[in-house]
Amino acid sequence: MSGDGDVRLWRGWLDRESADALLAEIRATAAFVQERRKMYDRFVDVPREHASQGDDREHPWTPLVLAVRRDLEALTGTRFSYVLFNRYRNGRDGVAWHNDSEVKYIRGPVIGSLTLGATRAFDLRPKADRKRILSVDVEHGDLVVMRGATQEHWEHRVVKDDRIAGERINLTFRQQPE
Ligand SMILES: O=C(O)CCC(=O)C(=O)O
């Protein structure tokens, strides 16, 4: 990517066995909820489900998520204080173009994003040229790390795709705002 963003992909950062075990732990323990958001004059279901774990969260770290946090901290040299889970039940779930705005309050922001389950397209585009879309298929065990000014200058999404039947759970490890 160009100088105003830093996004890296580690294919198979978790091997299949570890990714399967992590997915099983999350399915067994996470309390997923579907939010409703106001759109114009009505409330609509957000097309995905959420859960979280973390230092100061209602749900504490579970063992395998904690082990991933430790390895990701070693890889990135960053301390992560919570993780958000997005559950895309199938291809009718997705997330529209956005950037992760809470990083505004962090010096040297780093987001570690791990895919479990179904393969989905992860798209990026520069805010200065929204027609230029970079797309990568992220697979079970793949890790994407977004650093620095990426959120300031780029947006990302997981586009809906009716052909996809399987569930994907994405983990984004995040820092405590200062
Ligand atoms: O599921 C993904 O890969 C992206 C998640 C995302 O955009 C977010 O948590 O802000």
Tens digit of pLDDT for each residue in 116-151?
Answer: 999 999 999 999 999 999 999 999 999 999 999 898
- State the CATH number of the domain containing residue 72: 2.60.120.590
- Ligand 1: atom nearest CA of 122 is 3
Tokens 């301390």 map to which residue? 79
Tens digit of pLDDT for each residue in 4-20?
Answer: 889 999 999 999 999 99
Dihedral sign, Cα of residue 167, residue 114, residue 153, residue 107? positive
Residue 1 lies in a domain: no
Phi, psi angle pair for 84, to nearest 5°:
-105, 135
For 42, the domain range is: 6-174
Residues having CB closer than 6 A to ligand 1 are: 84, 86, 95, 100, 113, 122, 156, 158, 170, 172
Q: What is the pLDDT of residue 75?
A: 98
Helix, strand, coil abundance in the chain, percent, nearest 5: 20, 40, 40
User: In total, how many domains does the chain have?
Assistant: 1
Ligand 1 centroid – CA 2 distance (Å): 21
- Ligand 1: atom nearest CA of 48 is 1
Ligand 1 centroid – CA 5 distance (Å): 16
* Pick from 86, 140, 132, 111: nearest CA to 6: 111
Residue 25 lies in a domain: yes
What is the mean pLDDT of the segment spanning 49-76?
97
What is the mean pLDDT of the segment spanning 31-60?
93
Determine the 3-state secondary structure of 118 from DSSP: coil
As a whole number of angstroms, the distance between CA 32 and CA 65 comes to 16
Ligand 1 centroid – CA 7 distance (Å): 13
As a whole number of angstroms, the distance between CA 148 and CA 152 comes to 8
As a whole number of angstroms, the distance between CA 80 and CA 83 comes to 8
Q: Is the pLDDT of residue 1 over 80?
A: no
